Structure 1
């Protein structure tokens, strides 16, 4: 297919228009995104509201496709409007140009993570409405801010609101990750996210002495214990049936302490990024860490800069009728799928936390994983295939 053919495709034009909006951190002005989405809602004849769950800050755009039986729990199609920062000098195409090359690759920040999903929802609904289809259940589309920001994201605040309660959501779609082979990954759970700072106090004094109970000795003990645990998880990954999402990851991300080279410091600090596997008892794991602190000599304060609660996985068995419909639709399309635990964190965890089943799925296969990377791209053909997949999935789940 020629570049001209792609350029003239209405769905590709809509996708590229969205990609050209630089909704990039930090300090995003979401006005252009909101205006774009309002136009899309109007073209689909869908009611649209802009709500502000954070006391007037940062909008959430909500579109509503009324179902035949609106009293039934609704279906949520969620995506986020924001994208991560870029290093323009590392890109061969301008990161917000949505350039289309001769092989049909569309280059832009957000092409995989995850503006593609947001406009693919719209493309699927455009086709379904044109065909005369009306879902049994009401379908909501939410376009939320700040998923990438590391601050309280828009969907978390929305889920906590009375507005969301009235939406009566029964099941949620959200993002997944591209697959580099022919399979498609479906994510039914996420690990528990901790950012844990150890504040290690000890005896201070002259660097020429061998003082007892120093912060450095305690730090060494803690670091060894955490790295031994990390090594045990690396060992588990030698099993080809185990993914990164199935193990607990432990990584040093920050170190702080000391005033000069000849002074033994009274305090050292180290921060670990920890993603606790869903098979691990989080309370027992935290107790183990606290026990290590006592074994090190005590005087260690644990400061959880980020401590999310354990969130139960979405059931992927016959007890979940939404899952049955979702999987059956993929099977009918002849797609090879793999059920996985998401290695990072998405907005799905906030939905699951209030007891609503949620699946993460991006209809992208045979594509390099480029989210947050330089020269992020998505092939036009893959994008359009994703719309075809969502046509089937949305119709199937909305008619459960």
Structure 2
């Protein structure tokens, strides 16, 4: 018996030793994924011209709405007129097309017809600003104050759109001619799904047989203080984004007087269904873009975090538990469930015949809209609840690759413009127009070329949206260098 115990203990020691050896080896060979970007000077830009254009763009209330009857297209028309006036060379040398009436598609023809194209994306529309009274400066004023341009759309996404226009105008003034054809795609309804804007432009390009090497759209950015115990800024590049699904849950019953209620009312039935969904969140896992993010960040970290990320085969359960403890990181590892609307009765002593709830889901990569819907129905498990999509859903698009020249070009350009930042692939938790171009661009990346602090994120769709004048100039320089690197 003692001999058996001894051999068991020896086997355990050997297992621990082997485990330690594997962990140590993985950590020591955990090489950096950063590249040494070639040194380049930031190009000179006519910042006054660009700032004036962005101010004017902000003043155009290009607000998008869910309901077709709520739209006012006059601001879009005025915006297009301003663009023609402010950027004459763009409109002289590029072919302009109007798609679905208000989306803008520009073609900058390259000298080589055999080269695959490059797509630059942004959107014209913005969300409304019902909280205007608490803004430091009026949301549609385009005020320049304290080193910032203030107003709705400066970050999302007129800053990028005007930045791209300004970059192309600067390159044309310098006599630059791209080798690859460059398409500029500016949708007019991104904030409500992009189905009449980006989707139609993508269909048009697809029908023409256009194959793009890559697309670059809004998305992640250079973040300050995003990761604990990392002193450097991190330039996150979105490789994909989560899908979008809103399900309407409707409970049906018999109306009546509240003095003689049934055992279960429609509101009670609906409440239990919603509670089941919140009590049974979608399962957690590490999506591939999140795993790649750790692969790029891990080697730049100190002990013990570098050991943790070098050995995810062993530490993944601990990592998932930690990520699940915070709202923002929990959303990166699972399809999220968010109850956004509940409504039913209209009088305090009347039983409603129907009660309705809307639950928003953001399917993570690898989970389809159909799979999420099926899981919702199984969790609710109540035939009295009708489940149907509220509006057209979208799937999480295929993930862009990191082992291709397109990603290396983007990585290189970020290194040239933000030389102190660590570059890491990631996944965007929200949505953009990017997914519409899955059949056109071989790889689709999301990166907004500017620095963000964590509190800046609240300005997007919130009060006091603004962009630094200096940061806007750097954004323009980035787009100039990216076009030269990717298309030149």
Task: Please confirm whether the aligned pair reaches a TM-score higher than 0.5, indicating the same fold.
Answer: yes
The aligned residue for residue 3 of structure 1 is: none
Does 1:277 find its partner at 2:367? no
Does 1:124 find its partner at 2:124? no
Does 1:21 find its partner at 2:60? yes
Structure 1 residues 96-111: aligned runs within 5 Å: 96-101=140-145, 103-111=146-154
The aligned residue for residue 77 of structure 1 is: 120
Structure 1 residues 220-231: aligned runs within 5 Å: 220-230=271-281
The aligned residue for residue 387 of structure 2 is: 302
1:258 and 1:177, CA in 2 relative to 1: closer, same or farther beyond 3 A?
A: same
Contact 2:219 2:237 in 1 (8 A): yes
Does 1:47 find its partner at 2:94? yes
Q: Which moved more, 1:341-350 or 1:177-186?
A: 177-186
1:258 and 1:314, CA in 2 relative to 1: closer, same or farther beyond 3 A?
A: same
Does 1:315 find its partner at 2:400? yes
Contact 2:223 2:236 in 1 (8 A): no
CA distance in 2, matches of 1:179, 1:332: 13
1:326 to 390, 410, 413: 410
The aligned residue for residue 94 of structure 1 is: 138
CA distance in 2, matches of 1:16, 1:263: 52
1:124 and 1:313, CA in 2 relative to 1: closer, same or farther beyond 3 A?
A: same
1:372 and 1:378, CA in 2 relative to 1: closer, same or farther beyond 3 A?
A: same
The 3-state SS of whatever aligns with 2:244 is: strand
Contact 1:193 1:274 in 2 (8 A): yes
* CA RMSD of superposed structures (Å): 3.1
CA distance in 1, matches of 2:463, 2:328: 30
The aligned residue for residue 385 of structure 1 is: 474
Q: Which moved more, 1:92-101 or 1:170-179?
A: 170-179
Does 1:289 find its partner at 2:373? no
Does 1:351 find its partner at 2:437? yes
1:163 and 1:46, CA in 2 relative to 1: closer, same or farther beyond 3 A?
A: farther
How high is the TM-score relative to the length of structure 1?
0.85
CA distance in 2, matches of 1:224, 1:232: 17
Structure with larger Rg: 2
Q: Give 1:358 shift.
A: 1.4
1:66 and 1:41, CA in 2 relative to 1: closer, same or farther beyond 3 A?
A: farther
Contact 2:206 2:440 in 1 (8 A): no
CA distance in 2, matches of 1:78, 1:189: 15
Instruction: Extract unaligned runs of 5+ from structure 1.
Output: 1-5
The 3-state SS of whatever aligns with 2:356 is: strand
Deviations 1:97-128 (A, max 9, x none): 22111x31111111111111112112322343
| Larger helix proportion of the pair | 2
CA distance in 2, matches of 1:21, 1:241: 33
1:243 and 1:382, CA in 2 relative to 1: closer, same or farther beyond 3 A?
A: farther
How high is the TM-score relative to the length of structure 2?
0.71
The total of aligned residue pairs comes to: 386
Instruction: Extract unaligned runs of 5+ from structure 2.
Output: 1-44, 65-70, 225-232, 285-319
Q: Give 1:151 shift.
A: 7.0
CA distance in 2, matches of 1:354, 1:166: 8
